[in-house]
Structure 1
């Protein structure tokens, strides 16, 4: 059976993560990816988990209370350069675009900050590292972000990255899909 979108996102990430790696949850949300990443990198690894909503950070902290390898950051992922030391190699990053489940649907990710973060992460990504993006586009701002993101990533050099789109095309209601950017060489 094909993996559903969220299990496939985790699978693509865990394929490349090694104990001790540094990884990013660019959209902390309720903390499920943060917890997954903390377990994947182990106690010697580091997770930087970003969200712009205090509610998300607090919920995630509660979920991840037993993990000491997470730095929660109440700020936009676009500002990750302020928090992650320069020269720190990133092995994987995960994004869930859209709005906080059970949160304010007016507060959403937007292309400009998402793409800024993607570029910053890609520049720090190790060869073979991956950025996994789950695109929720069932709302107006999600459709705008989706279209701009697909157009931009389609133009990335195939000499530096492979960009995969994983999508079920026979599902109703703007079902989410997954993008995976894998770095294949240094620029």
Structure 2
């Protein structure tokens, strides 16, 4: 058995910290894979908020949820920027979120010109870090093979390095001998 992919590792970190009934966030819904995963982690009692600026992404997420977990009725799809996470979640979720997942880059199969950018990603990450409960986790999958990807990843990494170590643990998971801009993961746990 080989090493876990970055997404499998992100899922492992989240599974270890999320329990049925928790509130979680998929900050970049995309095709809905992480929304379904998070829904399974929190169970029928839990709440999932999924964000995307592309209607197509939310339609794909809705279809995936309808196929894989049609009975889950606490999944809220928001056609909004991830920068609006903190303002969108209800007051009772503030400081109580168990996990937030980000996949930065673009939606596979959609317009590759529609990408995440630091001007919205940094406020989103800051808001997400404030929403986390103690012991909560924030995962950031960084895809760098598209125009602007390396720059966004560097800015996100700088942001994560500046988080106060008394409040957060930050780790990086990557494969260093792969070519063609392999993605990598930054994971943040709130102390």
* TM-score between both structures, scaled by the size of structure 2: 0.94
Q: After the TM superposition, which of the residue ranges 51-60 and 86-95 deviates more from structure 2?
A: 86-95
Structure 1 outlier segments of 4+, above 6 Å: none
Aligned to 1:86: 91
Aligned to 2:36: 35
| Pairing partner for 2:76 from 65, 71, 74 | 71
- Kept in 1, the 8 Å contact 2:86–2:131? The answer is no
| Pairing partner for 1:167 from 152, 166, 174 | 174
Aligned to 1:101: 108
- SS of the residue 2:179 aligns to: coil
Q: After the TM superposition, which of the residue ranges 102-111 and 113-122 deviates more from structure 2?
A: 113-122
State the Cα deviation string for residues 73-93 of structure 1 (Å, max 9, x = none). 001011123321124110000
Taking the TM superposition and a 5 Å limit, the aligned residue runs for 1:1-187 are: 1-65=2-66, 66=70, 67-88=72-93, 89-184=96-191
| Structure 1: runs of 5+ lacking an equivalent | none
- SS of the residue 2:150 aligns to: helix
In structure 1, distance between residues paired with 2:81 and 2:133? 22
State the Cα deviation string for residues 119-168 of structure 1 (Å, max 9, x = none). 11111211110001100011121111111111111111111101100000
> How many residue pairs are counted as aligned between the two chains?
184
- SS of the residue 2:84 aligns to: helix
